[in-house]
Amino acid sequence: MMRVGYVYFAACALTWTTQALGQEKEIQNPLAGDQSAIKEGSSLFRANCSPCHGLNAGGGGRGPDLRAGLWVHGASDAAIFRTISQGVPGTEMPANPFEDSEVWALVAYLRSVSAGTKTPVAGDSAQGERLFFGKAGCAQCHMVKGRGGRLGPDLTRVGAARSVEYLTESIREPDKELSLAMSDPNNHYGIPAEYDTVTAVTKEGERVIGVAKNEDAFSLQLLGQDDKLHLFLKKDLRDVIHERRSLMPAYTESRLSNQELQHLLAYLSRQRGE
């Protein structure tokens, strides 16, 4: 009985999915290319989406770059409509109570700024993976699917969340924009922590350098370069220095050639958590 029931359920699910996909293919944005809709979509985007996806849809601390043509949750008009209105379970993307015309205006706006279909990076992903875990030393601080270091952001889904341009900038000029870290879900207006270099100076003059996982007026939770957690009370410290730079070295051309960069980008852009 169990088996029959399971098969029946699976068959229904398959039928439903096929129908849903079929319908989604058929529905097109009635406002596609409409200049006034694009303008309204732009305003709606700024007011509602930009806090996570960036002012001009280029990606923010929490939301992916929407100009890169990645469309991880479906690239058709109908799929983007569904992503906006219903959200994406299992991610930070919430459902949004827009009217249908507003959602279509947003889709029209996103199409107007998006690069269209994504072109794959020219490099060799396998060589990129070897660089990541080997010579380039990325895995000393970054983790992919449970392998690697802890000091920097986990990159398991970075290919779904960030454009190649963003990744390039992060590799070549990591200080330009610090990556965002933990945010407090109970602090509605709070700004997330950053992957900033923090130096704690003890009363004895010892300097512990690392990334602040958290901090307040009285304490500091620091993940040190020594791969250890240092849980300080500020009363025991002489100073806490926020250096406002990344702990990651800049991978200039002398450290990582353009060709190696392409391999690394090919590897990273394929990391979609799948």
Partner 1 sequence: MKMATIRVTLAVAGLMTAAVIGRSQVSYNRILKAAEEPQNWLTYSGDYKSWRYSKLEQINTSNAGNLALQWAFQSADLGQFETTPLEIDGVLYGTGQDNRAFALDARTGRAIWRYQRRLPDKVQACCGMVNRGFAALGEHLFMATLDGHVMSLDMQTGNVIWDVEAADYRQAYVFTVAPLLVKDKIIVGIAGGEYGVRGFIDAYYADSGKRAWRFYTVPGPGEPGHETWAGDSWKTGGAPAWITGSYDPELNLIYWPTGNPSPSNNGLERGGDNLYSNSMLALDADTGKLKWHYQFTPHDLHDYDSTQIPVLLDAPWQGQPRKLLVQANRNGFLYVLDRTNGKFLSAKPFFTRLNWAKEIGSDGRPVVVPGSEPTLEGTRTCPGALGATNWFSPSYSPETGLLYVAAAEECDVFTNAPQKYHEGHDFMGSVYVPATGEKTWGALRAFDPFTGEKKWEFKYFTPPNGGSLSTAGGVVFAGDSDGNFLALDARTGKDLWHIQIGAAVYSSPMTYALDGRQYVVIPAGGTLFAFALP
Binding site for partner 1 (CB under 8 A): 39-40, 42-44, 46-48, 50-51, 55, 97-99, 102, 177, 184-191, 215-218, 242, 244
For residue 47, the minimal CB distance to partner 1 (Å) is 5
For residue 152, the minimal CB distance to partner 1 (Å) is 19
Concatenated DSSP letters for 73-128?
T--SHHHHHHHHHH--TTSS-------HHHHHHHHHHHHHHS-SSPPPPSS-HHHH
Q: Which is nearer to partner 1, 45 or 81 (CB)?
A: 45
Q: Which is nearer to partner 1, 99 or 204 (CB)?
A: 99
**CA nearest 82: which of 25, 32, 31, 37?**
25
Q: Which is nearer to partner 1, 4 or 47 (CB)?
A: 47
For residue 102, the minimal CB distance to partner 1 (Å) is 7
Q: What is the DSSP letter of 150?
A: S
CB atoms within 10 A of CB 161: 22
Check the CA dihedral 106-108-113-116 and report its sign: positive
Q: Which is nearer to partner 1, 24 or 177 (CB)?
A: 177
For residue 60, the minimal CB distance to partner 1 (Å) is 8
Query: Whats the size of the chain, residue-wise?
Result: 274
Q: What is the DSSP letter of 143?
A: E
Q: Which is nearer to partner 1, 65 or 102 (CB)?
A: 102
**Over the Cα atoms of the chain, what is R_g?**
22
For residue 71, the minimal CB distance to partner 1 (Å) is 24
CB atoms within 10 A of CB 84: 23
- What order do you get walking across the sheet with 229-233 strand by strand? 229-233, 219-224, 207-215, 197-202, 237-242
Q: Which is nearer to partner 1, 184 or 253 (CB)?
A: 184
Secondary structure of 190-257 in HEC code, one letter for each residue: CCCCECCEEEEEECCCCEEEEEEEEECCCEEEEEECCCCEEEEEHHHEEEEEECCCCCCCCCCCCCCC
CB 106 within 8 A of CB 98: yes
For residue 101, the minimal CB distance to partner 1 (Å) is 9
For residue 249, the minimal CB distance to partner 1 (Å) is 20
Q: Which is nearer to partner 1, 44 or 107 (CB)?
A: 44
For residue 241, the minimal CB distance to partner 1 (Å) is 12
Q: Which residue has the tokens 């690239």?
A: 75
Q: Which is nearer to partner 1, 51 or 120 (CB)?
A: 51
